[in-house]
Amino acid sequence: MDRVRNFINGEWTGSATKEYGDIWCPATGEKIGEVPYSTADDVDKAVRAARDAFWEWRCTPPMTRARYFFKLKQLLEESFEDIARVLVREEGKTLDESRGEVRRMIENVEHATGVTTMMAGYNLEDIAQGIDCTAERQPVGVFGVIGPFNFPAMVPWWFLPYAVVSGNTFIVKPSEQVPMTQTRIFEAVEECGFPEGVVNMVHGSRDVVNAMLRHPGINGLSFVGQSTTARYIYRTCAETGKRVQALGGAKNHLIVMPDADLDKGLPSILTSFYGCAGERCLSGSVLVAVGDVYEKLKERFVAASRAIKVGDGLQEGVQMGPLVSGKHMEKVLGYIEKGVQEGAKLILDGRGVKVDGYPGGFYVGPTIFDAVDPSMTIASEEIFGPVVSIVRARDLDEALKLIDGSEYGNAACLYTTSGAAARQFKYRAGAAMLGINIGIAAPMAYFPFGGMKGSFYGDLKGHGREIFQFYTDTKVVIQRW
């Protein structure tokens, strides 16, 4: 039985805690390990190590810092398959999905090596005669990330490479539900040989988060998780004077216009709703059928959903894995029950799906509600499972108002063959990640990532170009000689 350990000041170390959480294999429902619920003292050790390492690391030339990431990329490529398999085992997604996640994680390592261009400041001569002005970008100190369960490999790496390559030092707090993936990744971090204290990891639950939030030695935090937690993180960072970006939950609408090419669109519509068992902040959740596309869309979508093979993500041919935990499965089942109670029409029921040889796994099959009113709970709250609500709209305008009415604004998608409709959607949709004839507007390392409204609390989003602003401070120097 694995008991994961912290990585502090270049060493693997246990925690003094007496409290441990269980790590589950969602495919089998068996316990596969334990995670320490580390203490404020463990966090303090990590912060001290990171602070001690900061000055020397900050004075290391950016190109030299980037070279660590060139080396790390190679090490991650060598461990690629192993990381992907550890991820499937503890999170439940399919091996292909897991490989995709690890690939996107590595892309952030690659993109961060552009630090010598991305971090550069700017200057202007003669702001007054003989006087020159420079804006320098300098690293700030110690940053950290608090991760969610659904992308255990990738999410911390939306932040870590950029913070560290910019000259800051860093602490990762992985989700306690899936701590093994990041632990495997940190074996590569260790082999890479960063100076002691530059990159640290502390496992645990709320006590670790609260200790990070309150620690005066931490300058800023990135958070990804549910919106309720995101709001708490954002508020507390404001109180304690930390930089913060807090990415929250989602309720994404996928709009299908009457002129959509369903032959081309259907595969990515399906992946949007059922990829990663619906446990993606970019997953489709509400399928909006505009005008007379409704009948044929429903018929084809339901038939294709019924054919999806559910099972252990490590098995060949499986298209959808289990949910992450028994607790989360109960939550999703609760939403299905709620949909029935509220009067939506359950036209595909994924409850009680059986996977041969895996009686204890946390499986819920594709589930579809028809005749859903936008005011119903299943159409407005984040379910985070393979549960689809079909809602009808007269036209694009009405469909866009559904997005406006949502408290979230993470992603939205449109399927159409009309440039005018696509333009109107792009212009008006109240969500930050848009897909046009694309079911998942994926986070690309070299573009910013984060939502709007209740899906994002902060100013500067993840990765892209602006992340270098989040991790640096501007110093303006005016000189006359």
- Least separation in angstroms between residue 260's CB and ligand NAD is 26
278 near ligand NAD (CB under 6 A): no
Closer of 50 and 247 to ligand NAD (Cβ) = 247
Inter-CA distances, 153 with 1, 165, 182, 290, 326, Å: 21, 19, 6, 37, 21
Name residues contacting ligand NAD, limited to 424-463 (CB under 6 A). 451, 455
Which stretch, 20-28, 106-114, 148-156, 159-167, contacts ligand NAD (CB under 6 A)?
Answer: 148-156
What is the SS3 string spanning 139-176?
Answer: ECCEEEEECCCCCCCCHHHHCHHHHHHCCCEEEEECCC
Told to check if 382 binds ligand NAD by CB under 6 A, we report yes
Assess 384 for contact with ligand NAD (CB under 6 A): yes
Of the pair 392, 463, the CB lying nearest ligand NAD is at 463
Candidate residues 247, 344, 421, 422; the one interacting with ligand NAD per rule CB under 6 A = 247
- Closest approach of ligand NAD to the CB of residue 173, in Å: 6
Distance CA 253, CA 406 (A): 9
Work out how close the CB of 297 gets to ligand NAD at its nearest, in angstroms, rounded to a whole number.
25
Residue 147 binds to ligand NAD (criterion: CB under 6 A):
yes
Tell me: does residue 97 bind ligand NAD (CB under 6 A): no
Does 281 participate in binding ligand NAD (rule CB under 6 A)? yes
Closest separation in Å from C-beta 144 to ligand NAD: 11
281 is catalytic: yes
The answer to whether residues 415 and 395 touch, using CB atoms and an 8 Å cutoff, is no
Tell me the number of residues near ligand NAD by CB under 6 A.
Answer: 27
Of 37 and 363, nearer to ligand NAD (C-beta) is 37
- Catalytic residue chosen out of the listed positions 25, 192, 276, 281: 281
Q: Verify binding: residue 149, ligand NAD, rule CB under 6 A.
A: yes
Dist CA 13 CA 15 (whole Å): 7
**Of the listed pieces 67-75, 144-152, 339-347, 354-362, which binds ligand NAD according to CB under 6 A?**
144-152
- Block residue for tokens 């390392």: 445
* Of residues 437, 361, 429, the one with CA closest to residue 27: 361
Among the listed ranges 16-24, 147-155, 181-189, 306-314, the one in contact with ligand NAD (CB under 6 A) is 147-155
Phi, psi angle pair for 37, to nearest 5°: -85, 85
Q: Taking CB under 6 A as the rule, which mask of x and - marks residues 187-226 in contact with ligand NAD?
A: ------------------xx--x--------------xxx
234 near 458, Cβ under 8 Å?
A: yes
Output the CA–CA distances (angstroms, integers) from residue 330 to 333, 364, 414, in the order listed. 5, 10, 31
CA distance 28 to 322: 9
> Should residue 286 be labelled a site residue for ligand NAD when binding is judged by CB under 6 A?
no
Under the criterion CB under 6 A, does residue 285 sit at the interface with ligand NAD?
no
Chain residue whose CB lies nearest ligand NAD: 225
CA gap 231, 466 in Å, rounded: 22
Q: Does 35 bind ligand NAD (CB under 6 A)?
A: no
Residues 6+ apart with CB under 8 A from 249: 225, 226, 227, 230, 281, 382, 384, 408, 410, 454, 455
Q: What is the C-alpha to C-alpha distance for residues 17 and 10, in angstroms, rounded to an integer?
A: 20
Per CB under 6 A, the segment of 124-132, 193-201, 245-253, 355-363 that binds ligand NAD is: 245-253
| 323 binds ligand NAD per the rule CB under 6 A | no
Q: What letter would DSSP give residue 315?
A: S
**DSSP letters spanning 435-467:** EES-S-----TTS-B--EETTEESSS-BSTTTH
HSE on the CB side for 148, CA within 13 Å?
21
* Residue 237 binds to ligand NAD (criterion: CB under 6 A): no
**Rule CB under 6 A: is residue 176 a binding residue for ligand NAD?**
yes
Point out which span in 5-13, 18-26, 164-172, 246-254 binds ligand NAD (CB under 6 A).
246-254
DSSP alpha helix (H) spans, 241-376: 262-274, 294-306, 326-341
Residue 211: CB minimum distance to ligand NAD, A:
10
Which residues are at the interface with ligand NAD (CB under 6 A)?
146-151, 173, 175-176, 205-206, 209, 224-226, 229, 232, 247-250, 281, 382, 384, 410, 451, 455
Catalytic residues: 281
